[in-house]
Structure 1
Amino acid sequence: MNITREPGAEIEGLSVSVVVYRPDVQQLAQTLKSLAAAYDALEEMHPAFRLDLCLVDNGGLPDMTAALDALRAHGATCSIVAGQGNVGYGRGHNLAIERAASRYHLVLNPDIDLDPQALIRAVEFLESHSQVGLVTPRIGDEDGYIQYLCRRYPTLLDLFVRGFLPTRVRRFFAGRLARYEMQDLINERDIVWDPPIVSGCFMFFRASVLKKLAGFDPRYFLYFEDYDLSLRTHEVARIAYVPAVRVLHHGGGAARKGSTHIRMFATSAFRFFNRFGWKWL
């Protein structure tokens, strides 16, 4: 399906950006399959909605023709942005955000499975709460438990304990981590207004808000770009944790990905704290 629109014109629909670098093919295909199912449910409720997927290839994208054709069969438009090299997570998404012309925009990781009702719930929440610019979902793990990915403002100790200490040692900091992860507020039932920081694995934006913020700060190559964007979003709109919007996350931490990721994590943390203020303990 091709949609003709004037430059800068907003369409009644949802744009989605997925940035990949040497992705797990099966997991990416599953993410796109779950997106198609969620879009089917959304389109049934809102027939005028259109889905525009932009897959940003930062390197190593295999042939995804079958998965993209399946999405197109559901009525979506799909495009691939390639040739820019590995420009990083935030800059990759910005390539899609700059060209988006929809009412809503979803920043989506390639390791997320959407609940079939996820898009409906997110759209309906934003339609009924005009002051909200960003919805974050209930994020579950593969065993069905909540991943506490909403955050209070971090200290260096919080980041070190959560990211790098072994599980047997982290238990001595359980109370501290619970506070940082907002475990006193995040649950299966209650909407939480204005969590300070939310995860970049699934950020459902009102596109006008995201455009006003000019997307992600491109100075972060990887890590903390979602912390930065969350804090800047509070300056122009409200953020809501909406547990009726549900996704499954297959991701892992920086410490489990090797020394290169640890260095990128440290570099981005330094940039984040320099911008927003240092908290040590």
Structure 2
Amino acid sequence: MEGSGGGGGGGKHFVLVHGLCHGAWCWYKLVPMLRAAGHRVTALDLAASGAHPARLDEVPSFEDYSRPLLDAVAGAGEGERLVLVGHSLAGLNVALAMERFPTKVAAAVFLTAGMPRAGTHLGLTTEEFNRRITPEFFMDSKTMVLNTGQGPRAAVVLGPKLLAAKLYDRCSDEDLALASMLVRPGSQFVEYPMMKDDTLLTEANYGSVKKVFVVVKADACMPEEFQRWMVDLSPGTEAEEIAGADHMAMCSGPRELCDVLLRIAGKHG
């Protein structure tokens, strides 16, 4: 689904960005719904994710990991303003794209996603999330060490029990099976210099783009309390809610999510 377009000429252009270890494939239910409503949709694979050809050890930085998104936003047509939708860890990729190309983004949607505050470092929300969880949180997931040109780097492989209990707990058996076949090793990039730079996200750029946080109330991975902490962190952020969906709301509540996104696009597009 890399770079997939389509939809009516008068609609908005949604760019959908997957979270940790996932790929464009996780949006497969939402893409046709948005297109049926007359919108253009690009669901992309970040570097070393989904069907992207690179291996994670070949991705030297968070910037390189984000490159497919940055290139897609940079390549948007003159006068075309995008609705970026970042899920989970992809809130940080979206934040970077907002900082680089604020005039190209009509609105940024953080779907139970990391949403840093302007004037703080990009890794702030990941650090806070990791501070709040217990060592048992990752269950049967495995950590691995990548040998990269920049030295050893940590990566994670999401375990089947974690997928079933905390990410896909309200999804169909088919969605869980699909995920268990397609997830790839991933990284939170917490040790990368870009994550620690307090000057990266500016009020003038990142802070100028409309932010909407979609709170997924039944999320067993990112608790509602933590989601609302991020909303409060950035005054002026709008909040929408989805009830009854799990962390993978695009799979467990695609119709509800589609309705929320159409409402956001209608208001801010």
TM-score by length of 2: 0.33
